[in-house]
Amino acid sequence: MTVWLPLIAKILVAGVFVALLAHLSSALKPKMFAGLLSGAPSVATVSLLLTSLQKPAAVHAGGRGMILGAAGLVACCAVASLLVPKLHAIVATAVGWGSWAVLAFGLFLVVPK
């Protein structure tokens, strides 16, 4: 139970934080400024803060892993930005997710731990 409680707390707090940030983003103008929040460290901030209370050493390792994921996120947003004018947003973001996975896991395999 003690293992699951922090995970449940992370899930609930991260879900609320993402929903609040996304709601704030929908009310911000201009749209390019609102778009910044799509790259906000919403889940990361909550998750790493709660981790730092339990296992401070794990935060550093989490940050190193996140560098690879963040590089994937840049690729995902760039691909989605290129495809959105030509395809539906859901298809563009699905391809973006694919590019995130290729770059993030590709870097994971190549970059020494």
Residue 40: C-alpha distances to residues 28, 73, 86, 88, 97 (Å): 14, 11, 26, 23, 16
Residue 53 binds other proteins, judged by CB under 8 A: no
DSSP element (H, E) containing 83:
helix 56-83
Q: Please give the residues from 68 up to 107 whose contact with other proteins meets the rule CB under 8 A.
A: 68-74, 76-78, 80-81, 84-86, 88-90, 92-94, 96-97, 100, 104-105
Q: How far apart are the first and last CA of the chain?
A: 31
* Residues in contact with other proteins, shown as a per-residue x/- string from 12 to 51 under the rule CB under 8 A: xxxxxxxx-xxxxxxxxxxxxxxxxxxxxxxxxxxxxx-x
Work out how close the CB of 110 gets to other proteins at its nearest, in angstroms, rounded to a whole number.
13
